[in-house]
Amino acid sequence: MDLQAFLAHAPGWQAAAEGSAAAIEKAWRFTDFAAAMAFAQRVAALAESINHHPTLTVGWGLCAVRWTTHDAGGLTPRDFDAARQTDLLDPGPNALPDPAGAGA
């Protein structure tokens, strides 16, 4: 699967960059920092289980997840699979709807 095909079927995910490497990123919004951190911990558990680790950005009411494969210098099928698995995680009861359709 290529980037454009993935983005066409993955609401909220966007093309991004990690240095000079292509990446995909999605942000979830929450009512507070603790809820964002709890979601980040669920993403971390997923990452450990699949041995593929994203860049996580956590702030007050926000958790952004960026997948890329550093060894390959960009996107691989592992990143698209990891993003789909991330979408299956429960963001928890304090997730906020995103009017743009990105995230929870």
Domain boundaries, the chain: 3-96
Q: What is the pLDDT of residues 55-100, one digit of tens each?
A: 999 999 999 999 999 999 999 999 999 999 999 999 999 999 765 5
Average pLDDT over residues 23-37: 97
The secondary structure of residue 90, as a DSSP letter, is -
Topology of the domain comprising 3-96:
Gyrase A; domain 2 (3.30.1360)
Q: Is 51 left (phi over 0), alpha (psi -120 to 50) or beta?
A: left
Furthest-apart CA atoms within the chain: distance in Å: 36
Residues in the chain: 104
Average pLDDT over residues 18-24: 94
C-alpha distance from residue 6 to each of 10, 44, 47, 51 (Å) = 6, 22, 20, 21
pLDDT at residue 99, as a whole number: 54
